[in-house]
Amino acid sequence: MKTKVLLLFTAIAVMSCGSHSKKTVSQAQSQQLDDLMANKSFEIVSDWASPLATSSLNSVANAGLMGPGSNAGHINLIGNSNYLRIEGDSVSAYLPYFGERQMGGGYDSDNGNIQFEGVPEDYEISQDEQTKRYEISFKIRRKAENFTVRAILMPNLSSTFNVNSSQRFPIRYQGKVSKISKEE
């Protein structure tokens, strides 16, 4: 009897290890992303920011100055205004920045946020036919600061994008892609 129970338990364990759930994407979501990309009019609103967790940022986190659910490497942005928009051949962004500035900055009105607007350089968009995800990359300049952005948009309308700057440590944002909201 013990042998049968052990054999049954082993068989269940092996089968459960072999089967994992695969996230399914609805055809409607995938088509919505294709339409947004074809129209070149969409925005990404981020729920999370992931800055480079330096010793200074860890000190801030250890002092208890991060919001609920946040730590030095993963900061909750829900409720904070932010966006990355692409409209035709123009891009604009207003993104809260958490991290260290390497140089420059001065007394600008951006309050330390990442902000830019204009026609980017080296704008490229490609789609992986197998995964149906889109990859967008571009460079843009604001005053004395240069930004390089690389975004990945998934068929389930989730997104992740990295912002590298000439004056700041890199940061990654995670959120959702959608039509541009008319509220501003």
Structural domain boundaries in the chain:
28-178
What's the pLDDT score for residue 74?
Answer: 84
Q: What is the mean pLDDT of residues 142-152?
A: 94
Evaluate if residue 184 carries a pLDDT over 90. no
pTM, 2 dp: 0.80
pLDDT tens for 91-123 read 999 999 988 887 765 555 567 899 999 999 999
Task: Please indicate whether residue 105 or residue 140 has the higher confidence score (pLDDT).
Answer: 140
Tell the CATH topology of 28-178. Answer: Lipocalin (2.40.128)
Q: For Cα atoms 169, 173, 175, give the angle at the middle one, nearest 5 degrees.
A: 175
Q: What is the mean pLDDT of residues 158-181?
A: 94
pLDDT tens for 52-104 read 887 777 777 777 777 777 777 888 898 889 999 999 999 999 999 988 887 76
Stretch (H or E) spanning 148? strand 145-153
Name the least confident of 23-27, 43-47, 113-117. Answer: 23-27
Name the least confident of 27-36, 58-67, 100-109, 133-142. Answer: 100-109
Helix, strand, or coil here: 155? coil
Evaluate if residue 19 carries a pLDDT over 90. no
In angstroms, the CA 93 to CA 117 distance is 7
Task: Please indicate whether residue 79 or residue 183 has the higher confidence score (pLDDT).
Answer: 79
| Structure tokens, 25 | 């994407």
What's the pLDDT score for residue 20?
Answer: 43
In angstroms, the CA 109 to CA 88 distance is 27
Helix, strand, or coil here: 13? helix
